[in-house]
Amino acid sequence: MSRPIALVTGASAGIGQSFAEALAREGHDLIVVARRRDRLQALADRLAAEHKSNVQVLVADLATDAGIEAVASRAASTPLDVVINNAGFGGYRPFVEIDPKVADDLVAVHIRAVVRVTRAALPGMVQRERGGIVNVASLLAFSGSLPPNNFLPFRAVYAGAKAFLLTFTQALAGELASSPATSKVRVQVCLPGIVKTEFHEVQGFDTSKMPPRMSPDDVARASLAGLNMGEIVCVPALEDPAALQTVDEAQRAVFPSARIPILASRYR
Ligand SMILES: NC(=O)c1ccc[n+]([C@@H]2O[C@H](COP(=O)([O-])OP(=O)(O)OC[C@H]3O[C@@H](n4cnc5c(N)ncnc54)[C@H](OP(=O)(O)O)[C@@H]3O)[C@@H](O)[C@H]2O)c1
């Protein structure tokens, strides 16, 4: 591989495939990760033909220790320019009914895999003083206080995992920015709304009853443009990013006023 190299998880469909295509168009070689080898190979062949990209296929199940290890070890041993931690699934279900194995898999794919692959890729990026990591979360990261209804699914584990990605990425960005030695590496958390991919079909949803969905190409486009602009939190459909500052300000208002050793009067 002679060009900048990007690793994309969940590249066999949807948003990950759009990221892979956009990065190939920008001149990257690629490592594409998912479970379905045939899909990944077809993508690799197409990107080689259309963009002359050198694309390596890495088949891995990120719900398993072996799959996470395989991707993390490739991330540690390759001089990556870009990592897109995108693989995921919804597993929407009332929490008391969710199969415990599905809950474990949600945590593994959305949290453990992202942390391990990021931990594996970052030291090399810091050493080379260049690189970017995108963690694909969801607007549902902001949905903790909203009850389920016609538009919002039962989603406690999924939304909790995506909220983890939001805080993880913001805290990591602050850590990287705090030292000149690490500040050249960028991290971003991307929070799409509803996107037109296989995500809902995989869960057996009737997509004809869903509201209009954004295209996965637009999500990848927003995220990569945002990464260039240094956006730490990218919300593809949010017209005024100042709204995100109000969320930060609310957190900052609560944090110092509650970081005191005095029990609030209502608990006394
Ligand atoms: N679609 C939406 O409305 C929406 C909204 C907000 C956020 N998101 C997030 O966007 C990301 C991409 O979703 P999408 O909409 O593009 O869904 P998608 O079309 O269903 O694609 C999901 C991708 O993740 C891979 N994947 C799933 N489980 C995996 C596992 N155990 N190991 C390895 N790869 C796995 C799938 O590949 P294989 O099946 O081949 O393994 C596929 O490539 C997810 O993190 C999702 O949570 C989606």
**Can you tell me the distance from the alpha carbon of 146 to that of 143, in angstroms, rounded to the nearest whole number?**
5
Radius of gyration of the chain (CA): 19
The CATH code for residues 5-242 is: 3.40.50.720
Section 160-166 average pLDDT: 98
As a whole number of angstroms, the distance between CA 56 and CA 34 comes to: 12
Domain ranges of the chain: 5-242
- Inter-CA distances, 18 with 98, 125, 188, 234, Å: 30, 23, 17, 16
Q: How far is the CA of 181 from the centre of ligand 1 (A)?
A: 34
For residue range 196-235, list pLDDT tens digits in order.
Answer: 999 999 999 989 988 999 999 999 999 999 999 999 999 9
Instruction: Tell me how far apart the alpha carbons of residues 139 and 257 are, in angstroms, rounded to a whole number.
Output: 27
Whose alpha carbon is nearest atom 42 of ligand 1? Answer: 10
20 ligand 1 Cβ < 6 A? no
Q: Ligand 1 within 6 A of 63 CB?
A: yes
Q: What is the pLDDT of residues 89-137, one digit of tens each?
A: 999 999 999 999 999 999 999 999 999 999 999 999 999 999 999 999 9
What's the pLDDT score for residue 60? 99
Q: How far apart are CA 33 and CA 73, in angstroms?
A: 13
Region 156-179 average pLDDT: 98
Model confidence over 72-92: pLDDT tens digits?
A: 999 999 999 999 999 999 999
Q: Which atom of ligand 1 is nearest to the CA of 162?
A: 47
pLDDT of residue 248: 93
Q: Is the CB of 195 under 6 A from ligand 1?
A: yes
- The stretch 165-185 carries a mean pLDDT of 97
| Rounded mean pLDDT, 247-256 | 92
CA distance 30 to 41: 12
- Does the pTM surpass 0.95? The reply is yes
Helical axes 14-25 vs 216-229, angle rounded to 10°: 50
* Residue 1 pLDDT exceeds 80: no
CA atoms within 13 A on the CB side of 163: 12
Q: Please name which of 194, 220, 228 lies closest in space to residue 209, comparing C-alpha atoms.
A: 194
Q: Whose CA is nearest to atom 45 of ligand 1?
A: 88
Residue 108 CA: which ligand 1 atom is closest? 31
> Using a 6 Å cutoff on CB, does residue 89 contact ligand 1?
yes
pLDDT at 172 over 90: yes
Task: Give me the catalytic one of 52, 92, 101, 158.
Answer: 158
CA distance 232 to 187: 6
Q: Please state at what angle helix 113-128 crosses helix 65-77, rounded to 10 degrees.
A: 10
* pLDDT digits 0-9 by tens, 15-66: 999 999 999 999 999 999 999 999 999 999 999 999 999 999 999 999 999 9
